[in-house]
Amino acid sequence: MEELAVKRDFTNIYTQKLPNAYLKEMKRLDYRIPNETKPLYLSIAKQLYKKLSKKINIIDIGSSYGINSALMKYDLKMSDLDNFFLEQEPSIKQSRQFFEDLSGDDTLDFYQIDISEPALKFSENTGLCNKGICVNLESGSLSIKEIPRSDMIIATGCIGYIGYRAFSNLFELIKKQQSEPDSETLKQPVFAFSVLRIFDMDKIERTFDHYGYSLVKNDLKPIRQRRFSDLEEKQKTISLLHDKGIDTKWLEDDGYFYADFYIASPKRLETDLILMPEKLKRHAGH
């Protein structure tokens, strides 16, 4: 896939026991998009909580070391994680204690899907998720017993690495869950994710439509993801975007990847769940 060939491969830092190397490299590249998507995800989660009056089960796809859940559940920023993990290189036990000492949002329960077993184990062992599921969503080998029923499915940065097949497999699993005898109260989950502007969303959009979902690119400004790792990555990215007819002025030209924010909900659901408050629109992209 041409778009994936553009991006640097970070596999080596996603597969270590502790998140130190990952956080160090992300800090170097000014990867701060979880700070920007956090209020967007929380806005949707709060709307769901108000509507359903129960704990919101969130599945984070491509969760790595549980950054989204750390930020959302404990009201942290990436810099807070940097300060703790990079200044003292804590053990798993110390890491767990760090989060336990914080006041957490008990209306959110996190489940995480990733291809890195060590990253998921870290998240489980520090209480950042109820369960980690190590699976390649593209393969289709999903067990109905493995994936929990969810109210919201999020993804920050992994769309493109996973494509329409992953979502098709997820939707088929959701259909099976709904067909179970005790599924009368099960709601179809809302999706929210950021996608780098280099990735083509056509097949994913068609997949959501096929399964009865409205997938909307929100009218937020593009959100800064991270700095380019080198000049080659920048040049290839800008060239690819120009080939697609996408203007990079004031965005990628300045040396950063940028992402769009998408929200999807069942077509039968009222549209207020896919609207962002104005204050969040002003916040996003800065």
Evaluate whether residue 216 is within a structural domain: yes
Cα dihedral 238/239/242/248 (nearest 10): 10
Which of 175, 61, 189, 180 has the alpha carbon at shortest distance from 129? 61
Residue with token string 């559940």: 73
Q: Is the dihedral of CA 186, 191, 192, 194 positive or negative?
A: positive
Share of the chain above pLDDT 70, in %: 86
Evaluate whether residue 286 is within a structural domain: no
In terms of residue numbers, what domain contains 113? 2-267
Evaluate whether residue 18 is within a structural domain: yes
Report d(CA 228, CA 234) in Å as an integer: 6
Evaluate whether residue 53 is within a structural domain: yes
Q: What is the model's pTM?
A: 0.91
Residue 83 makes CB contacts below 8 A (sequence gap 6+) with none
* Average pLDDT value for residue range 219-243: 94
Evaluate whether residue 136 is within a structural domain: yes
Question: pLDDT tens digits, residue range 195-217?
Answer: 999 999 999 999 999 999 999 99
Least reliable range by pLDDT among 108-112, 232-236, 268-272: 268-272
Question: pLDDT tens digits, residue range 107-141?
Answer: 999 999 999 999 999 999 999 999 999 988 888 66
Confidence of residue 88 (pLDDT cuts 50, 70, 90): confident
Evaluate whether residue 277 is within a structural domain: no
Q: What is the mean pLDDT of the chain?
A: 88
Find the CATH number of the domain harbouring 39.
3.40.50.150
Evaluate whether residue 57 is within a structural domain: yes
Evaluate whether residue 217 is within a structural domain: yes
What residue ranges in 99-189 does DSSP mark as E strands? 108-114, 131-134, 152-156
Residue 11 makes CB contacts below 8 A (sequence gap 6+) with none
Confidence of residue 5 (pLDDT cuts 50, 70, 90): low
- Count: domains in the chain: 1
DSSP SS3 for 63:
coil
Residue bearing the bigger pLDDT, 253 or 13: 253
For residue 246, the Cα-to-chain-centroid distance in whole angstroms is 24
